[in-house]
Amino acid sequence: MKQAIVLRTDLQMSTGKLAVQACHASVAAVLRAGVDALKHWEIDGQTKITLGVNSLAELENLKRQCEAMRIVHAMISDAGRTELAAGTVTALAVGPAEDKAVDRITGSIPLLK
């Protein structure tokens, strides 16, 4: 079990902003996950990876794949209090779900650097 957190790099968010958006996405997806999935994920060490995409279109495509595969996910839009305009989509959490399912959706996306 793992969770992939995909962040938009085209927005040039500060390091702190990236961290906060990743946290929002992770928590939102966890709150949507089933009890059994959460138990397995916790036993597996709550594995998380952060990945980066260059556009909103890429993030939306990943969201559609999650929906088609019925994988827990959460897309995050910023509240607009600091660096970004309200409603700017910043991140998508995929899972927690089985490793193979998460990899099927996010396996070709590079790690966030």
The CATH number that applies at residue 58 is 3.40.1490.10
Find the length of the chain: 113
Q: Looking at residue 18, what is its pLDDT?
A: 97
Q: Is residue 111 situated within a structural domain?
A: no
Q: Looking at residue 17, what is its pLDDT?
A: 97
Q: How many domains does the chain have?
A: 1
| Sheet strands (E) in 9-112 | 48-53, 73-77, 89-97
Whether pTM exceeds 0.85: yes
Contact 49, 108 (CB under 8 A): no
Q: Is residue 28 situated within a structural domain?
A: yes
Q: Looking at residue 80, what is its pLDDT?
A: 95
Which bin fits 76, alpha (ψ -120 to 50), beta or left (φ > 0)?
beta
Which bin fits 36, alpha (ψ -120 to 50), beta or left (φ > 0)?
alpha
- The CA-based angle 99-71-39, given to 5 degrees, is 60
Q: Looking at residue 107, what is its pLDDT?
A: 96
Enumerate residue ranges in the chain where pLDDT < 50.
Answer: none
